Amino acid sequence: MVENVLKDNETVYKAMNPVLDFTLHHGVMCFVGEIYLSSVEPGPGDIEIYVGKALDRWDLLTVHRCGRELEQRVLFKQEVHAKYLRLKCLDNLRGGNLCCIRFVQVFGVPL
């Protein structure tokens, strides 16, 4: 767990091009349907979303371009099964490197 990412309060995680790794449901294979991301200024711009069945192997799922809204929803059109999820923030909305994230929530069900 990355410090301050999963807390639903006013604390904010700030990092240069952060990479956020999540273990889904204690490492059990899960169906992932949606990711909800809340940020503050400067919010992330382009995000690469990876899924994995093992910690040492990641498969690029999609590249998502965040809008100007502080709350982003990423819905997956294909069926996604994974044990691990990685969000790699390539830049922020202004083209810089510093991204501020309040919390990340992953919606899905264990298989």
Kindly compute the dihedral angle of the four CA atoms of residues 65, 80, 77, 48, in this order, to the nearest 10 degrees: 10
Q: What is the CATH number of the domain that holds 97?
A: 2.60.120.260
CA 24/CA 98 separation, integer angstroms: 26
Say how many domains are in the chain.
1
- Confirm whether 100 is domain-assigned: yes
CA 64/CA 7 separation, integer angstroms: 23
- Confirm whether 1 is domain-assigned: no
Domain residues for the domain of 58 are: 13-110
Q: What is the pLDDT of residues 17-28, one digit of tens each?
A: 999 999 999 999
Q: Is the pLDDT confidence value at 1 over 60?
A: no
- Confirm whether 89 is domain-assigned: yes
- Confirm whether 6 is domain-assigned: no
- Confirm whether 72 is domain-assigned: yes
Q: What is the pLDDT of residues 24-48, one digit of tens each?
A: 999 999 999 999 999 888 899 999 9
Q: What is the pLDDT of residues 73-96, one digit of tens each?
A: 999 988 999 999 999 999 999 989
For position 12, what pLDDT does the model report? 75
For position 44, what pLDDT does the model report? 93
Single pTM value for the model? 0.86
- Confirm whether 65 is domain-assigned: yes
